[in-house]
Chain A
Amino acid sequence: MLSNTQTDKLLDDCMNGIITSAQLTAQLSADSNEVADKLMNEHLVAVTAVQQYSLLKQVEQIHQLYAPAKAKTVVHPMFTLKRVMRIAAVFLLALSTWLFYEYSTNTYNRLYNDLFTAYSVNEVRGNESGQINALVDAYRSGQYSKSAALFATVENPTSRDLFFTAMSYLRLSKPADAVPLFNKIYAYNKLQGEGLYEDETDYYLALTWLKLNDKQKAIELFEKIKADKEHTYNKTIPSSAIFKIKWFAH
């Protein structure tokens, strides 16, 4: 019985013509030519594979130098530099347009008009005295000059008198005259231990500061209102209003 190495050598010799097919069959002690032929064919197939592979490898090495780089399946990243720049440019354009619009539209006066809501006079509170009723009645009927003038006749004014007189000055576009009256409401309430018209004063004094172009004082009051969930005017002021006042009011 021949070893694999001996068989391999015989097959090589037959392939190279050193021995004949008949000699191969004899030396392999094969039962028939068919067995030898089968071994020889398998051997030739394997040798052909080696030769073809080696040839392929040699040519491939040179091919790499000349062939175009194979088009790689490039998965385009979502954000290439070009795309990022384009998005940034669009964003900047939109931002600058918006900034320009907000800046040009948000004057103190415009913001004041947007936020101002006419104060409805509480009927229940109007029965204390004839003079007071006259001041409030004048305010209710839109006679702001009259209601403001009537304040001078009131002895020991309450927070109610102070408030409607201040509101009258505000409606008369005399915000500077309204400020000391609103401030007196705080002092009066403190003295009396009351809280009447205090929420209203916060809100309308803030608007008064806005009308007077005093951004800082207006913001302080608006933020105070927004911070207090129970405040009467908490829901009246949109958060965006404070943002606009901070950044665009001019």
Chain B
Amino acid sequence: MMKIAETNLIAGLKQADINRPVQELYKNHFESVTYYLQSLGGNQEDAADVFQESILIFIEQVRADKFRGESSVNTYLTGIARNVMLNEIRSKTRRNVREEQYAAAENEEPVDEVLHRMFSKENSTRLARLFDAVGDSCKKILKGFYFDDLSMRELLQYTKYENEQVLRNKKSKCMKFLKDLISSSKELNETLKSYLKYVK
């Protein structure tokens, strides 16, 4: 059974603004988990990166109700972090071996059945580049609508547009631009599609 504090934390992670619960996760688990990760062979920087990815995976799992509180947050988070770390080590080894072998091995890149590395360092960088290209005004509108779950009327208050219709037109243009960018980025497109299949 979950402690009250953990119940509140999980509830907080299901909200749009996750600032407070994520801070709590870092405050309570960053040190112990990264210490453990370093014992697996990672350095301090790698461990910190893996911890961030693990937090993102944990949030996704909480939101998908995959975390049921059968173990403590720390144990669960450490388990995710361990898998990510081992996956990362395996990927690196595979990369090294592949570099020494021939290109046919490229098709053998496995899709991890246990863990989706949507937030791996490479994918995070691709996402950041994508939204750098999208631009600040589009980012603000799309984030407000699809992540903060604001209505067009609410969103209008945070933007400079005259009315909802103008804002809607702008949002539509932003989406079209984003879709075009994604379709031109093969790796990211594939990652997002496989992630969608994974979470279904």
Contacts and interface: CB of A to CB of B under 8 A. Distances in A.
A61 B26 CA distance: 11
A46 B175 contact: yes
Nearest to A54: B147
A15 to B, nearest CB: 9
Interface in B144-171: 146-148, 168-169, 171
Nearest to B22: A62
Contacts of B48: 63, 66-68
Nearest to A65: B26
A245 B172 CA distance: 91
A115 B89 CA distance: 76
A65 B24 CA distance: 12
Nearest to B17: A58
Interface residues of A, number: 34
A45 B196 contact: yes
B172 A5 contact: yes
Interface residues of B, number: 45
B19 interface: yes
Contact of A67 (B52, B148, B168, B172): B52
Interface centre among A4, A51, A53 (most CB of B within 10 A): A53
A42 interface: yes
Given A4-B176, A43-B175, A56-B124, A48 B22 contact: no
Contacts of B193: 41, 45
Interface stretch (B67-75, B102-110, B126-134): B126-134
Given A45-B182, A67-B52, A50 B26 contact: no
Contact of B142 (A45, A50, A56, A67): A50
A8 interface: yes
Nearest to B188: A49
Contacts of B128: 53, 56
A56 B56 contact: yes
Interface in A7-54: 7-9, 41-54
A63 B26 CA distance: 8
A49 B56 contact: no
A8 B138 CA distance: 15
A59 interface: yes
Interface of B: 18-19, 22-23, 26, 30, 44-45, 48-49, 51-52, 55-56, 59-60, 118-119, 124, 127-128, 130-131, 142-143, 146-148, 168-169, 171-173, 175-176, 178-179, 182-183, 188-189, 192-193, 195-196
Interface of A: 3-5, 7-9, 41-56, 58-63, 65-68, 70-71
**Top 7 closest pairs, chain A to chain B, by CB:** A54-B147, A8-B172, A67-B48, A5-B172, A50-B146, A50-B142, A45-B192
21 contacts: A5-B171, A7-B172, A8-B171, A9-B172, A45-B182, A47-B146, A49-B178, A50-B147, A52-B119, A52-B127, A52-B195, A53-B127, A55-B60, A56-B56, A60-B52, A62-B23, A65-B26, A67-B45, A67-B49, A67-B52, A68-B45
